[in-house]
Amino acid sequence: MRAVSIWGICLLLALYAAGSACAQALKIPCAAVQPVPDIAFDGHKLREIADISDPSLRRINELLTAGCFDEAASELDAYALAHPADHRITYLQARGAWMTGSPDQAEALLKDTISKYPDFASASILLAGLYLSREQYEPVSALLDSAQRIAPSDLWLFVDRLRLAAPTSPDPESIDTIVRVMQDKRFSRNVRLQMVALILNHLQQRVDAPTLDAAYRGSIDFGINSHEDSVGSYALWLIEDQQRTAEARQWLEPLLQTPLRNPEFVHRMLAESYLFDAARIDPVQTSRNFALIEKARSEMGGNIDSIARDAALNRRLAPLQGFFAIVEDLDKPDDEGLTALCAALQALVLDVPMIKSMLGNLANPNQECAGGLNFTPVGLILIQARPQQTAERIDILKDLLARGADPNPHVFGTDAITFCKNDARRCEALLGVLQPAWDAAAARGK
């Protein structure tokens, strides 16, 4: 297995993981390192670095995977001294460079090797893996196609095709394969955690709840993230998506007995779990659910205002909205200077019904949203480049204009008309709505 790949996953999860989590996950006694056996799967006999058969080189590859860098370097030096003309050494040199924090050096070495030895499949596959870790998808297919002709049953050729399909073209067949590989214990931990990462990072909306549950548990079992963060992510999903609150508490409560970087998050999740339980009894506070609501308050130090705020903005917390008074002044900013409307317009996912509801409750469509440049709501819609949310942007823009929003607000030091002339990519999909509004404003002399 390629430990290079585990570092790719660690980079994907770097915002959530402790710095040493991935290294700790690879702590295997170096003397116990064993070759990875071939795997028969879907009519293929999958073999790692299929075009490198020398036992010494294969062992060095496994030492790298196990994080035994000193031993790998020593054995590679000895092999290179005895076989100075063996170009396969460059694969291990590049892999070692990548794993120890020099991906640019690895890329240069691999490119040079492939130019001299275009039939060296392992080098092409490793370079494809490096590009995948950077989310540079364009050159990957050609590299994998080249390797396919030489080593069609290479394990990482098979894995990297799945790694390419998940973020770019996830069809039912590839998704099914990813799920089956994740569940198949014959594959190494490194391969299976790759599948876990693909599901959690790219396929959450395309797999069923049991599969997603298995992926979350896999992220905990494989240790690719800190235990605190992996459990926290799993508990968040259990509570807000599945309402499996009792299970979530079974994971969260033991965390409070350990040193934590973010204990507030654990208490917040426990509070949410009690509120979801209370909402199942009654949608508003009553004598029947009062004790559960008090437990939630206790977890939050007596103040659940932050949950109240989020319940108004987060669709997954909608069952909790009945516990909180309706905010009468939708234009009142929070501590960060953002109103509910501005916060919703800057969310990763545009919630059209919620935003329209705010505008329907007299939220000012021309308010300035804090954040340095003070865009209006129309300005925020213009600057977003979200092809997957074009329909939502158009829908919200229509509603803003219908409620009196200025169609030509200031944007990056100029007006919207000039901005759109200079950055057609962002505005192209919106021009069918904007141009009539601009024309009408011009006719009115504005």
158-209 per-position pLDDT tens digit:
999 999 999 999 999 999 999 999 999 999 988 999 999 999 999 999 999 9
Give the pLDDT score at 330.
58
Give the pLDDT score at 350.
86
**pTM score above 0.75:** no
Give the residue from 164, 213, 145, 218 showing the smallest Cα distance to 187.
218
Is residue 10 a part of any domain in this protein?
yes
Same domain for 234 and 318, yes or no, is yes
Final residue in a domain of this structure, among 326, 360, 391:
326
| Cα end-to-end span (Å), the chain | 65
Same domain for 118 and 258, yes or no, is no
Check pLDDT > 50 for residue 6.
Answer: no
268-325 per-position pLDDT tens digit:
999 999 999 999 999 888 888 888 998 999 999 988 878 887 887 888 999 998 877 5
Q: How far is CA 332 from CA 210, 336, 364, in A?
A: 42, 11, 10
Same domain for 61 and 164, yes or no, is yes
Give the pLDDT score at 27.
52
Is residue 66 a part of any domain in this protein?
yes
Kindly provide the residue ranges of all beta strands, DSSP E only, lying in 229-290, ordered along the sequence.
Answer: none
Is residue 442 a part of any domain in this protein?
yes
In angstroms, the CA 278 to CA 321 distance is 12
Same domain for 21 and 143, yes or no, is yes
Maximum average pLDDT range among 22-31, 340-349, 405-414: 405-414
Final residue in a domain of this structure, among 326, 361, 380:
326
Check pLDDT > 80 for residue 387.
Answer: no
Give the pLDDT score at 13.
30
Same domain for 113 and 154, yes or no, is yes
Check pLDDT > 90 for residue 123.
Answer: yes
Check pLDDT > 60 for residue 96.
Answer: yes
- What is the rounded average pLDDT of the residues 135-152? 96
Check pLDDT > 60 for residue 9.
Answer: no
Is residue 7 a part of any domain in this protein?
yes
Structural domain for 310, as ranges? 226-326
In angstroms, the CA 288 to CA 110 distance is 67
Is residue 77 a part of any domain in this protein?
yes
Is residue 25 a part of any domain in this protein?
yes
Is residue 76 a part of any domain in this protein?
yes
Is residue 9 a part of any domain in this protein?
yes
Same domain for 149 and 51, yes or no, is yes
Same domain for 306 and 354, yes or no, is no
Instruction: Look at the alpha carbons of 198, 204, 209, 213 in this order and tell me if their dihedral is positive or negative.
Output: positive
Phi, psi of 375 (to 5 degrees): -75, 150
Same domain for 118 and 187, yes or no, is yes
Same domain for 83 and 152, yes or no, is yes
- Token couple for 285: 């506070």
In angstroms, the CA 208 to CA 51 distance is 37
Give the pLDDT score at 110.
97
Check pLDDT > 80 for residue 25.
Answer: no
Count of domains observed in the chain: 3
Same domain for 62 and 176, yes or no, is yes
Q: How confident is the model at residue 8 (pLDDT cuts 50, 70, 90)?
A: very low
Same domain for 320 and 365, yes or no, is no
In angstroms, the CA 215 to CA 205 distance is 13
Same domain for 239 and 366, yes or no, is no
218-238 per-position pLDDT tens digit:
999 988 789 999 999 999 999
Is residue 219 exposed (0-12), middle (13-18) or buried (19+ Cβ within 10 Å)?
Answer: buried
Q: List all residues 6 or more positions away from 14 whose beta carbon is below 8 Å from its beta carbon.
A: none
Higher pLDDT, 119 or 404: 119
CATH assignment at residue 197: 1.25.40.10
- What is the rounded average pLDDT of the residues 335-361? 80
363 three-state secondary structure: coil
